[in-house]
């Protein structure tokens, strides 16, 4: 691990709005704030919104600025990237923003049923070869449904034609209500300040002339979740893992 990463981890360990729980600690003691985010951390009863795979936390911080009447939590396992948003929100004195460093697969151990109102998934790896790792697969829909309350909205922004098509097929197979759908966000007429927030990866893909897709749908409860059985053409311009993805984004 590089010195820069170690310095960021050490710095972030002192941040009061960053939660880092090793799996061993989670197994032994659980997460004491689970079900008590409103009372113990935010000290209000406003809706909680998650950004999963938050990376540098652009959406978490951006949404926090746009909507002071809501609470936002960025979730990612990569602490060195998360440090950027964590530092920015700390220096700005934002009281409605937090960050949680953990694997998304463990999300139900950090939030109680109904504790979350919305989920944003911004530019995830499409995981073209691994269905169970796709953040919009039925495996994750079950996890999200455990913690979502109310309408339970899921927002997906992606440059990936593969993931966009797969998610639409998953929605169709499970008859989930769609609120908004566009395969070309910035030419769709959706003049929404929320959607105008751009992540690091989004700026890279836009610079390459790629279209950005956006989906908003309700993750309703289902007795049985059905995986779509369809053949979808793979994206040809990107790699399967994050390290190769980063190299592509930087033009190396």
- The three-class DSSP label of residue 183 is coil
**Whether residue 125 lies in the annotated active site:** yes
- Select which of 40, 45, 76, 125 is catalytic: 125
Secondary structure letter of residue 211 according to DSSP = P
The helix (run of H) or strand (run of E) holding residue 166 is helix 161-173
Residue 63 CA to residue 66 CA, distance in Å, equals 5
47 near 128, Cβ under 8 Å?
no
> DSSP readout, 1-14?
--HHHHHHHHHHTT
- The three-class DSSP label of residue 108 is helix
Residue 213 CA to residue 159 CA, distance in Å, equals 6
Residue 252 CA to residue 247 CA, distance in Å, equals 5
Query: Among all chains, which residue has been given the structure tokens 């030419």?
Result: 187
Residues marked active site are found at: 125
């Amino acid at each position: 691990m590089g010195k820069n990463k170690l310095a960021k981890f050490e710095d972030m360990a002192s941040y009061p709005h960053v939660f880092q729980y090793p799996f061993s600690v989670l197994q032994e003691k659980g997460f004491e704030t689970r079900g008590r985010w409103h009372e113990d951390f935010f000290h209000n009863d406003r809706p909680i919104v998650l950004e999963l795979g938050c990376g540098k936390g652009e959406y978490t911080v951006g949404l926090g600025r746009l909507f002071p009447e809501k609470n936002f939590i960025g979730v990612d396992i990569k602490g060195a990237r998360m440090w950027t948003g964590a530092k920015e929100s700390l220096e700005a004195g934002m009281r409605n923003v937090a960050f949680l460093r953990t694997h998304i697969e463990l999300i139900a151990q950090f939030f109680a049923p109904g504790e979350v109102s919305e989920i944003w998934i911004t530019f995830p790896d499409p995981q073209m070869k691994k269905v169970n790792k796709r953040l919009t697969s039925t495996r994750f829909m079950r996890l999200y449904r455990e913690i979502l309350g109310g309408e339970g909205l899921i927002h997906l922004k992606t440059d990936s034609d593969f993931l966009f098509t797969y998610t639409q097929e998953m929605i169709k197979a499970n008859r989930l209500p769609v609120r908004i759908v566009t395969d070309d966000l910035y030419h769709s007429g959706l003049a929404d300040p929320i959607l105008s927030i751009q992540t690091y990866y989004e700026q890279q893909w836009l610079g390459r002339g790629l279209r950005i897709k956006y989906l908003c749908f309700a993750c309703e409860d289902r007795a049985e979740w059905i995986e779509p059985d369809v053949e979808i053409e793979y994206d040809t311009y990107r790699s399967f893992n994050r390290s190769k993805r980063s190299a592509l984004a930087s033009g190396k």
